[in-house]
A and B are shown apart, each in its own frame.
Chain A
Amino acid sequence: MNVESLVFYVFAALMIFAGLRVITARNPVHSAMFLVLAFCSASGIWMLLEAEFLSITLVLVYVGAVMVLFLFVVMMLDINLDQLREGFWRWFPFGAALALVMVGEMVYVLGNRKTAATEGLVRHAADYSNIKELGRLIYTDYVYPFEIAAVVLLVAMVAAIALTLRRRIGVKSQNPGKQVLVKKADRLRIVPVAAEKSGSDRAA
């Protein structure tokens, strides 16, 4: 066994362990952290496949942004574990059936010589840029699917923001533009006050 497969098995074992702990950990924050570990292991495996763009983007997007917000939400929720666990055995057959279907699909895809492209895996030279190649493909051969996906995501984003917009009355807010443009004359009034008697007169 060469070093590469050793590294692969280490990452794969870590990922399976982390994946199991995501669903078995009692504390939701622990689950979220194990999901982070699973993402990091997956990123390591992709790195072994020389897919450095995907691998780093996985860390950047999922670990660096999505999971942070997820953790953010999970930490603030008051989760009652007993209530969550109540329906476990009732839903177990359904979950198991779903798992079986997924395992079946994976075996079909990966076990088939035609669909599993392990034969055609080519080693590239050190100066080969995965990102350049990916960018070229995305913006030439796959430009329409890519643009459509981008627009769909944009619409989803706009919709998510629109959901949070609601008109509330009686809310005070500042207008920084107005604050910056404010002049001395708007705020300050100089009142001429007549001079009083000086101190020396009073002393006398």
Chain B
Amino acid sequence: MIETLQNLLGVAWTPLWTLVKIVLIVAPLMVGVAYLTYVERKVIGYMQVRIGPNRVGYYGLLQPLADGMKLFFKEIIIPAGSNKFLFVLAPVLCLMPALAAWAVVPFNAELVLANVNAGLLYILAMTSLGVYGVILAGWASNSKYAFLGSLRSAAQIVSYEIAMGFALVCVLMASGSLNLGDIVNGQKGAGLLSWYIIPLFPMFLVYLISGVAETNRAPFDLAEGESEIVAGFHVEYSGMAFALFFLGEYANMILIAFLTAIMFMGGWLSPVTFLPDSIVWLLAKASFVLFLFLWFRATFPRYRYDQLMRLGWKVFIPISLIWVVVVGLWMQTPLWLW
């Protein structure tokens, strides 16, 4: 059937087919984002001995749709002293890189939108762009609280990106490739034991915690710090513009979860050799990491700003630098089994 369509459409085939594939990635992602907010409220609810949303639909399952409807029909208020163009552009810039990064994420050995050699670099570049949305939102709102939030966030994202980059350097040393598909294939063999999480365990922790910091999630959500700066960079936003920031944040969380699963936990590979590899494993691993994100939020109090900077610069960056050297030396010995 695909071939008939291909002949019918001719030149238009490639762009159309790519478009279909993009929709096939983005649509489930958006549903995932919507239900992640639901799961977050439920999980944190149960952790705090509450029930969580339970009024809209069975077990509150329609809650995300109700929230979406509410935000969609609310008025977008543009503050009088704001810079209108950048004010509207900022939420778009926040969501855009979170979606663009999915282009190189492989779901199994064949399912990937763009199988490029520089996949890992591309991911790093895209995740580093997300900060523009936050900075511009803070500046364009022309509000002190928003501005303070965006300054905090920019400093935080730039600092943690370095540790994150070094963690990825270790992964690319171990796998010898920047292609995400090859990185997963490099972890094939003895099931769970051949995943990079074993030799690179410190880097796994650094990556995961930097990922939490990078997505501005609790306990590193200083950019929003309700008790000090109201809601940080998105304090002046309302309606769908506000919702876009949330979509961006949750899409980024899902992305970090998938990347952690792909780079440290063997992606779609099965943890035991007698079960087949499948996309289900990838989803299960990513869900586990997402659960950790929610768990952190329910468990830890917010970091103070200087503690956050200390953790990034004085703990994570030295650890990751040392581990790059350790992995480099380790790989020269016969003890390197990965």
- Which residues of A does B touch, CB under 8 Å? 27, 29-30, 33, 36, 52-53, 56-57, 59-60, 63-65, 68-69, 71-72, 75-76, 127, 129-131, 174, 176
Contact = CB atoms under 8 A, between A and B. Distances in A.
Given A56-B118, A75-B135, 11 more contacts: A52-B116, A52-B117, A56-B125, A57-B121, A60-B124, A65-B161, A68-B158, A71-B135, A72-B135, A75-B139, A174-B306
B151 interface: yes
Contact of B128 (A27, A65, A130): A65
B129 interface: yes
Contacts of A53: 118, 121
Report, nearest first, the 8 A-B pairs whose CB atoms are least far apart: A64-B128, A60-B125, A59-B125, A56-B121, A52-B118, A129-B117, A56-B125, A75-B139
B117 A130 contact: yes
A131 B169 CA distance: 14
Contacts of B136: 33
Contacts of A36: 132
Nearest to A174: B306
Contacts of B158: 65, 68-69
9 contacts: A30-B86, A52-B118, A56-B118, A56-B122, A57-B121, A59-B129, A65-B161, A131-B117, A174-B306
A68 B310 contact: no
A72 B118 contact: no
A60 B132 contact: no
Given A29-B86, A29-B139, A52-B116, A72 B151 contact: yes
A34 B158 CA distance: 21
B112 interface: no
Contacts of A176: 307, 310
Q: Is the interface of A mostly helix, strand, loop or mixed?
A: helix
From DSSP, what is the main secondary structure of chain B's interface residues? helix
B154 interface: yes
Interface in B100-159: 116-118, 121-122, 124-125, 128-129, 131-132, 135-136, 139, 147, 151, 154-155, 157-158
B262 interface: no
Nearest to A53: B118
A68 B116 contact: no
Contacts of B307: 176
A72 B161 contact: no
B265 interface: no
A75 B141 CA distance: 12
B200 interface: no
A87 B7 CA distance: 64
B313 to A, nearest CB: 11
B139 A60 contact: no
Contacts of A52: 116-118
Contacts of B261: none
B169 to A, nearest CB: 13
B118 A131 contact: yes
A176 B313 CA distance: 14
B206 interface: no
B178 interface: yes
Nearest to A57: B121
B13 to A, nearest CB: 14
Contacts of B310: 176
Q: Which of A30, A71, A130 has the most CB of B within 10 A?
A: A71
Contacts of A131: 117-118, 121, 178
